[in-house]
Structure formats: C-alpha cells, structure tokens
Amino acid sequence: MKQRALILFAHGARAASWAEPFERLRGLTQARLPDVDVSLAFLELMSPRLPERVDELAAAGATEIALVPVFLGQGGHVLRDLPLMVDALRLKYPHVRFSVATAVGEAPDVLNAMADYCVAAAAASAE
C-alpha cells in the first residue's frame, strides 16, 4: 500500500458523464505519480465523499494526504466547506499530515490553457 495519497476533490453532479474529465485528470496525474495513491472524492451527489475517501486511505495506512480542489472558482465550497471538512479530518486522524492546495482555477498555467482554448473557439466560430 502507498503511504502518500493525493485526492482530487471535485463538486459532483447528478449526471455520471459529468465526472469524465475528472477521471481523465486522475489518470493523467496517477501516471506521473506512480508512488502516490491518486483518487477522486466529491463534495456531494457522487461517491466517494471526501470524509469517506479519507477513512479508506487512513485505514489502508496513508500518513500523508494532499488535497487539490478541482474547482475553477473559489466560492463557498472551497473557502468554507472544504476547510471545515479538513479540520474535522485532522482531529479524527492526528497522525495523518494533510495539505490543501489552492483551487486549480487559480493556477496561471491552467488559466493560460483555458485562454488558448477560448481564443481557438472564437477563431473556429469565425470560419
């Protein structure tokens, strides 16, 4: 089992198709981090929820869990719900080291890639 884990934390939705890009992101990330357990966890509507996934990882012996919010905007879910959940998980698992990254939508390279895509979409529409 792997002591290091990375959880990609996403919102969740009713449509199963919603999760597809997140599954691809998980695959891309896992391929580059063979020594880390990379998984998805959700705020709502999809399984596993974040606390459930942390329970599984802690039971399997993870001692270091990095969380990346896969959200574009930093609203209430990232700024309020996630910190409250992580506080509770830190109390429950004092021997596990948790880290929480800023949301992916704040990363300059992600914004630049999205801008490239928007520029290409505008160009395609003009053809």
Q: Report the interface residues with a copy of itself, using CB under 8 A.
A: 4, 6, 8, 10-11, 13-15, 17-22, 24-25, 28-29, 32-33, 36, 38, 64, 66, 68, 70-76, 79, 97, 99, 101, 103-107, 109-119, 121-122, 124-126
Structure tokens, 47: 């399984």
CB atoms within 10 A of CB 84: 9
Residue with token string 């959700």: 42
Structure tokens, 53: 């996934």
Structure tokens, 71: 């959200």
Nearer to a copy of itself, 13 or 60 (CB): 13
Work out how close the CB of 53 gets to a copy of itself at its nearest, in angstroms, rounded to a whole number: 15
Nearer to a copy of itself, 24 or 92 (CB): 24
Work out how close the CB of 51 gets to a copy of itself at its nearest, in angstroms, rounded to a whole number: 19
The rounded distance, in Å, linking the Cα atoms of 41 and 32 is 19
Cα 37–chain centre separation: 13
Work out how close the CB of 55 gets to a copy of itself at its nearest, in angstroms, rounded to a whole number: 19
